[in-house]
């Protein structure tokens, strides 16, 4: 009987047949797919014909189709709908998958063919896209250690396998801490909480099998609880649990794992001839060097910290007005910031939230993409991996473009955060391949589901990533969609957030959950004016995390990351009532894998561009200017990694922006 993962998928648009796949199918499918991939690699490496782009690079691009199917299905469900069996499989798979790809990158015969083509590149008559793919392939092999020999080669494979296992352990420990902790709330504890928080707490209690409402460590629940609960003792208990994720001792503690990861990354970089892991990692990014990253972050840090210190004095005054004669703490900030926002902007999130219905915000994101790029979305009736998931066919001018899947609600089986991934990426070889793209979020359930303004921005952000995947129009999968420099990948997503703030978008789609009435003009005006509220806090908690990440990787790995984290924050003058957005033991961006290691700064690097890019629309015909939309698609959204990121941005905008655009956008300096 054919394994359903490896079968010919006859589902609509060849979406994975999730209902036919059991957890028992994954291990044999992985084994079979890796064997098939190894056979394909060996055939390429042992080809007696002289290497050509077609018989080496192009066939390497298209090899491993079965393995792609296995990995896309498995990692989708492992991240968004985990269970003990899948967690065990992930622990087993991580070193095996690492060893598999390490074996390919260390295949000397294969690398010799690639190196031969690289040496003869000027004589090969390649298209620009082919030349780019050859360069990236050669660079990837070199950076993976393909040129290493003997003991160094062996050690590199060991390091990569160990890092894969450690990243999986870090992720699963964090998920366990988030899943297992909750705080029971009595009916009296709910007093003063808005209905949407109470509803979310009751839904969370039902999911946990508790007797009543609970607070969990899901950001979509704990943040509004910290905003609205008048019970300082409960806020402290919840915040301390949230801040302690991954640092509770015992088998789920991530502190020693983080230290070992940092040491192995440093060793890996030095094997490849770099002074530090940050130097190795940033070489291929727009920033290029740790010094350029640090310069950007410090330009933002000083005005943000000054704003936060000034805000802290105001919040302390509000706390004293409540009769609390104690220092402002991290569990106080959001509560008193919400009071201040209500007083200064007359904006009450409890009153705002009914206007931000999840379904209407999805419609808004779709509508903006239609006005900008002509995309249409039609619901698909297909079985997916969880009942919460929804799917749409994406078309343009009647032609199929992509399948888009949304998985929006928080649950215990889903890791925290929000992300976008392509279960199948766009490509044209060996045949036209339309993408299947998924957005995963962690919003609180409700009837209807209501979002905070930050939630709504997250939805638009992830959909911006989805557009980057769906509008991709390149030949080769390795440069498709979001396969770009890490500090460029956030540009489309952060840029798309701006359309949420376009008044005509909110006036059309921000309609009240009960009355259906559009958001009143006065409230809309307050929302837009308050868009930069509390930016001192938000910027400080982010930049502190980015600076710690950079310091961890720019020099000798610390034996005690927690001590180094504390030292960095002290040197920065971190405000006492603000915690890092991601402290080391739960900094999944940095420690769950290499993706954002030395690269957490990239959100801010991209923000420098996104503020400037949206200004290009405003300087033209407005947010929906058709010429600018065409330019955005032509030069950024459709091009993937086919050219250098800086070159793509210059083609769109004509210049590179300075940091002032970001500071003005955040309201940290005068516009």
Catalytic residues: 462
For residues 124 and 118, what is the distance between their CA atoms, to the nearest angstrom? 9
Residues 6+ apart with CB under 8 A from 580: 541, 544, 545, 548, 565, 569
**Apex 372 CA angle, 368 and 374, nearest 5:** 95
Task: State how beta strands 182-184 and 214-216 pair.
Answer: antiparallel
The set of residues, in sequence order, having a beta carbon less than 8 Å from that of 315 and lying 6+ positions away, is 328, 332, 333, 336, 337, 340, 577
User: In whole angstroms, how large is the CA radius of gyration of the chain?
Assistant: 25
Buried b (16+ CB within 10 A) or exposed e, 110-134: bbebbbebbeeeeeeebeebbebbb
C-alpha–C-alpha distance, residues 7 and 29, integer Å: 10
The vertex-609 CA angle with 607 and 611, nearest 5°, equals 70
- HSE toward the beta carbon, residue 217, CA cutoff 13 A: 24
Phi and psi angles of residue 261, each rounded to the nearest 5 degrees, phi first: -60, -45
Parallel, antiparallel, or unpaired for β 436-443 and 399-409?
Answer: parallel
CA angle 263, 266, 268 (to 5 degrees): 110
Q: At 577, give phi and psi (nearest 5°).
A: -95, 15
DSSP notation for 568-597: HHHHHT--TT---SS-GGG-HHHHSSSTTT
* Residues 276 and 290 sit within 8 Å (Cβ to Cβ): yes
Closest CA to 138 of 114, 154, 158, 110: 114
Residues 125 and 117: their CA atoms lie apart, in Å, by: 11
Measure the CA–CA gap between 542 and 602, rounded to whole angstroms: 11
Q: Which of 141, 172, 181, 175 is nearest to 57 (CA)?
A: 141
Rounded to an integer, what distance in angstroms lies between the CA atom of residue 24 and that of residue 394? 33
| Residue 548 phi, psi (nearest 5) | -65, -45
Instruction: Name the helix (H) or strand (E) containing 235.
Output: helix 232-243
Task: Give the angle subtended at the CA of 222 by the CAs of 220 and 223, to the nearest 5°.
Answer: 75
Instruction: Write down the number of H helices and E strands in the chain.
Output: 27, 7
CA separation for the pair 404, 467 (Å, rounded): 10
Cα 184-188-191 angle, rounded to 5 deg: 105
- The whole-angstrom separation of Cα 613 and Cα 601 is 19
Nearest 10 degrees: Cα torsion 551, 554, 559, 562: 10
Tokens 């039902």, residue located? 206
Distance of CA 610 to the CA centre of its chain: 16
Contact 286, 487 (CB under 8 A): yes
């Amino acid at each position: 009987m054919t394994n359903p993962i490896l079968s010919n998928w006859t589902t609509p648009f060849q979406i994975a047949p999730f209902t036919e796949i059991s957890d028992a199918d994954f291990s044999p499918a992985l084994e079979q797919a890796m064997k098939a991939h190894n056979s394909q690699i060996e055939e390429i490496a042992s080809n007696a014909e002289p290497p050509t782009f077609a018989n080496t690079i192009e066939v390497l691009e298209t090899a491993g189709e079965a393995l792609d199917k296995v990995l896309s299905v498995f990692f989708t469900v492992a991240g968004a709908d985990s269970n003990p069996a899948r967690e065990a499989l992930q622990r087993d798979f991580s070193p095996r998958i690492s060893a598999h790809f390490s074996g390919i990158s260390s295949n000397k015969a294969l690398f010799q063919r690639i190196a031969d083509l690289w040496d003869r590149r000027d004589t090969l008559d390649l298209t620009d896209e082919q030349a780019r793919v050859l360069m990236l392939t050669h660079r990837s092999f070199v950076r993976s250690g393909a040129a290493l020999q003997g003991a160094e080669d062996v050690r590199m494979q060991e390091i990569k396998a160990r890092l894969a296992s450690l990243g999986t352990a870090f992720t699963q420990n964090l998920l366990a801490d988030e899943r297992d902790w909750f705080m029971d709330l009595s009916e009296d504890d709910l007093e003063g909480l808005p209905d949407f928080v109470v509803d979310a707490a009751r839904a969370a209690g039902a999911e946990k099998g508790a007797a009543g409402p609970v607070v969990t460590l899901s950001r979509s629940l704990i943040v509004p609880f910290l905003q609205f609960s008048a019970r300082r003792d409960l806020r402290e208990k919840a915040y301390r649990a949230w801040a302690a994720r991954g640092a509770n001792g015992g088998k789920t503690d991530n502190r020693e794992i983080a230290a070992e990861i940092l040491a192995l990354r440093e060793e890996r970089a030095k094997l490849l001839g770099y002074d530090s892991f940050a130097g190795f990692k940033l070489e291929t990014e727009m920033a290029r060097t740790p010094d350029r990253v640090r310069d950007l972050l410090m330009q933002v840090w000083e005005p943000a910290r000054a704003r936060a210190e000034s805000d802290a004095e105001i919040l302390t005054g509000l706390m004293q007005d409540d009769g609390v004669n104690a220092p402002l703490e991290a569990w106080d900030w959001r509560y008193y910031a919400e009071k201040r926002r209500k007083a200064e902007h007359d904006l009450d999130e409890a009153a705002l939230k009914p206007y931000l219905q999840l379904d209407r915000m999805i419609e808004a994101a779709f509508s903006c993409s239609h006005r900008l790029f002509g995309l249409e979305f039609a619901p698909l009736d297909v079985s997916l991996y969880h009942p919460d998931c929804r799917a749409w066919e994406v078309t343009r001018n009647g032609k199929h473009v992509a399948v888009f899947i949304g998985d929006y609600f928080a649950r215990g089986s889903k890791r925290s955060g929000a992300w976008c991934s392509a279960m199948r990426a766009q490509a044209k070889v060996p045949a036209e391949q339309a993408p299947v793209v998924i957005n995963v979020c962690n919003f609180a359930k409700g009837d209807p589901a209501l979002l905070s303004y930050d939630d709504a921005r997250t939805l638009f952000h992830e959909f911006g990533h989805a557009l980057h995947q769906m509008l991709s129009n390149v030949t080769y999968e390795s440069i498709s969609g979001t396969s770009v420099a890490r500090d460029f990948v956030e540009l489309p997503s952060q840029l798309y957030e701006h359309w949420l703030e376009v008044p005509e978008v909110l006036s059309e789609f921000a309609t009240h959950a009960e009355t259906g009435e559009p958001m009143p003009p006065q409230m809309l005006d307050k929302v837009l004016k308050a868009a930069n509220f509390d930016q001192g806090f938000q910027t400080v908690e982010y930049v502190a995390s980015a600076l710690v990440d950079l310091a961890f990787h720019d020099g000798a790995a610390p034996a005690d990351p927690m001590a180094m984290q504390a030292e960095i924050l002290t040197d920065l003058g971190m405000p006492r009532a603000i915690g890092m957005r991601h402290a080391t033991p739960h900094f999944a961006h940095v420690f769950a894998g290499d993706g954002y290691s030395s690269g957490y700064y990239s959100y801010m690097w991209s923000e420098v561009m996104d503020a400037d890019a949206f200004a290009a629309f405003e300087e033209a015909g407005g947010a929906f200017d058709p010429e600018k939309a065409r330019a955005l698609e032509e030069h950024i959204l459709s091009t993937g990694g086919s050219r250098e990121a800086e070159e793509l941005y210059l083609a769109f905008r004509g210049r590179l922006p300075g940091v002032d655009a970001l500071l003005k956008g955040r309201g940290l300096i005068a516009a």
